Structure 1
Amino acid sequence: MSSEPVETVEWQGRQVPVWSMRTIDYGLLLSQDPAEVEKVTKACLEDGYFQLDLDSIDGRRMLEDRESVLKLMDRFFSAPLEAKNEYGLIDSHLGYEPVGNRTGAFGPGSKDGYEMLKVSRDEIQQGAPRVPSPIKNSPDLHLLEQAIGSCNTVTKVILSALSTGMNLSGAERFENKHRNDRPSTTTLSMMHYLPAEITGQHKIGHQKHTDISSLTLLFSDQWGLQIRPPGECGAKEMGFVAPKKGCAFVHVGDSLRFASGMKFQSCIHRVVPFNPTEHRYSIAYFLRAEDDTMFMDSEGRYVTAKDWHDQKFKAFTDPWMYQALAPKSMILGGMTEAGADDPEGPVPAYAPAPVEVELKA
């Protein structure tokens, strides 16, 4: 199976799995190649995630846009807090979030260790985005527009292939619930994870969760992303995803799982400080269904895509004690898991020493 570990890596004094996964060829998906359509559909049915190979004539524009956004992020996140936080968090899917607004990677006692800028696709399309001045009054705004356009095209190609793979037609096809001219909370999120020596040992990583999105297109060259593969007897243990050159990591979010009648898996994941001394950057495009799209969630409730987004975002920002009282269907999208993520005890201190990636078969 694609989720069987073929190697491990040392992290926090123990060997942790590096989970393997299917790699999907974007160029073949663009051509609706039957074998590749079947492959991506199977990946979503069995795993809920895959690597998307963009290193071809059809995908290299996306890779170039990604490089431009990384340079933009370096400029933006180096600006003074007052400039970055000009608007603050305007809405749950757009604006700036400073470090420490959410629960961290290690539950009680930890806060997140990243700052984030979220840009609404709808506002970019309408030509009136609310973004801080360092971006709006520079060529960076055009770079964001190009990147969002590329991400939207890539995720729509995947969505169309999944509709075909699930034998959907007409209005039932997934892409007909993700039309470009209808309001949605689709957003491009740019995340900067700060070194532990800046944030302190209790502001680290990103908590375990499933995404609100239909599809998430994620880019990062640095280690830190962990996933929990689904399994027949509950989910397997958390393990790392190895960054792969020329590829994006794609995973299924709650909305697409709901839209598939719970046939697709939703990816349980988190981000941990693999190397606590580095600045880590990641770019995530969250393709989300039109606001008024109705589906049944994992508790049998009928909710709109917008309602689900707002409820789950509130759960993300709630203190951990309230999260613990909420049904798991909110943070984990109703996915089943079993087993502890980490050794019992307090959040460990992170010594400021570089980490070498040494894989063991």
Structure 2
Amino acid sequence: MAISPEIPQSVEWNNTKVPVYAMATIDFSLLLSQEPAEVERLVRCCQKQGFFYLDLNNIDGRRFLDDQQETLKLMHRFFEAPLEAKNEYGLIAPHLGYEPVGSRTGVLENTKDGYEMIKVSRDEIQRSSPHLPAVIKNSPDMKVLENAIAGSNIATKAILSALSTGCGLSGAARFENSHRNDRPSTSTLAMMHYIPSDSSKDRNIGHQKHTDISSLTLLFSEQWGLQIRPPGAREFGFVEPRAGCAVVNVGDSLRFASGHTMQSCIHRVVPLHPAEHRYSIAYFLRAEDDAMFTDSEGRYITAGQWHDEKFFAFTSPPEMQALAPASMLLGGMTEDDGEEVAPVVELKDNAVKAY
């Protein structure tokens, strides 16, 4: 089912009325028990749009909401530290470390990004002495990070397992068997602080359009700013923050692993309120470094190689990004301003199975 042409709500951004897109809501508790109807809804959502709300307002999900609030407190302490202390930590690896404001291309032409970010990987937090900045390298903060990463891993693995069931996969073919917990991966928790910015005059603006270097992304943000361009949509539109819900999206690796039947939805972040400090928490569940898939250029490559190549494209200047394969930043998804995006390939009904 294509997105509805009806726009039920809009908000003003950059002197223009911008749509607010409706998204399906998936109940986490129902996914845990792999209720057939909810599993089928999940699969269809990932095949049609690639984004959905994950409802955590239940006994099974509330602990993740508590983890989010504790992580926000930690983020404030870190981002309010002097810049020298944050830069001392630096960027250790593409999935671990600190990136200051302006490290990447911005959302508008001739701008740089408008956020700073600290990343802590799942592999790193399990080490006996994880590499962390001094300002949060203490037992209470490390426990907060452990809980946030472990909880996010549990939630995204439950979604991945339900998708395997819904797609009729078994044995080694199930998606989670390329996401084993004991194998090295670049799965990471990214904590982002978007600085106040006015799109009419500032030069550090938002987060450029892209698809995610992940299989699934679990995103928490209580503030406006996320925009998506669903398959078939003519323009970017906002995602409304919803209390008690995370936003989940399909990333490149799951799109590739599904035979390109799932949609890695194009998205970006813009400042809706110029004076606002915006905070978001994203867990990127990624396949094992050695997992193999066929990308949108037809190359048979590892998840680790895709991660490193796309990260390099993200952090390169626009002239270098233009030299990358057309599918790199958008994961093979297409757009054409003023025209409808190429229609999503429809799967036959019997390709979606509850059991």
Q: TM-score range, shorter-chain basis?
A: over 0.9
User: Identity across aligned pairs (percent)?
Assistant: 68
Offset, 1:123: 1.1
What residue is the counterpart of 1:157 in the other structure?
158
Offset, 1:330: 0.3
Secondary structure of the residue aligned to 1:284 is: strand
Q: Is the Cα contact below 8 Å between 1:255 and 1:289 reproduced in 2?
A: yes
Query: Quick one: distance in 2 between partners of 1:265 and 1:174?
Result: 15
Which consecutive segments of 4 or more residues in structure 1 shift more than 6 A? none
Q: In angstroms, what is the RMSD of aligned CA positions? A: 1.4
Measured against aligned partners, the alpha-carbon deviations of 1:31-58 in whole angstroms (never above 9, x if no partner) come to: 1100000000000000011000001000
What residue is the counterpart of 1:192 in the other structure?
193
Do residues 323 (structure 1) and 347 (structure 2) align?
no
Question: Residues 3-82 of structure 1 correspond to what in structure 2 (within 5 A)?
Answer: 3-4=3-4, 5-82=7-84
Query: Quick one: distance in 2 between partners of 1:224 and 1:340?
Result: 23
What residue is the counterpart of 2:108 in the other structure?
106
Q: Is the Cα contact below 8 Å between 1:85 and 1:132 reproduced in 2?
A: no
Secondary structure of the residue aligned to 2:89 is: coil
Offset, 1:206: 0.2
Query: Quick one: distance in 2 between partners of 1:127 and 1:216?
Result: 27
Aligned partner letter, 2:89:
Y
Aligned partner letter, 2:327:
S
Unaligned 5+ runs, structure 2? 340-355
Offset, 1:14: 1.4
What residue is the counterpart of 2:168 in the other structure?
167
Offset, 1:320: 0.6
Secondary structure of the residue aligned to 1:157 is: helix
Query: Quick one: distance in 1 between partners of 2:57 and 2:309?
Result: 37
Q: Is the Cα contact below 8 Å between 2:234 and 2:338 reproduced in 1?
A: no
Secondary structure of the residue aligned to 1:3 is: coil
TM-score (norm 1): 0.91
Aligned partner letter, 2:175:
F
Offset, 1:340: 6.2
Query: Quick one: distance in 1 between partners of 2:158 and 2:252?
Result: 19
Aligned partner letter, 1:3:
I
Secondary structure of the residue aligned to 1:325 is: coil
Between Structure 1 and Structure 2, how many residues are aligned?
A: 335
Query: Quick one: distance in 2 between partners of 1:250 and 1:257?
Result: 14
Query: Quick one: distance in 1 between partners of 2:3 and 2:133?
Result: 41
Query: Quick one: distance in 1 between partners of 2:279 and 2:303?
Result: 28
Q: Is the Cα contact below 8 Å between 2:217 and 2:285 reproduced in 1?
A: yes
Secondary structure of the residue aligned to 1:35 is: helix
Query: Quick one: distance in 1 between partners of 2:131 and 2:98?
Result: 10
Aligned partner letter, 2:234:
K
Question: Residues 218-297 of structure 1 correspond to what in structure 2 (within 5 A)?
Answer: 218-231=219-232, 235-297=233-295
Do residues 92 (structure 1) and 94 (structure 2) align?
yes
Unaligned 5+ runs, structure 1? 342-361
Query: Quick one: distance in 2 between partners of 1:256 and 1:128?
Result: 32
Q: Which moved more, 1:145-154 or 1:82-91?
A: 82-91
Secondary structure of the residue aligned to 2:227 is: strand
Query: Quick one: distance in 2 between partners of 1:12 and 1:297?
Result: 35
Measured against aligned partners, the alpha-carbon deviations of 1:73-125 in whole angstroms (never above 9, x if no partner) come to: 01110001122222200000000000001000113x11000000000100112
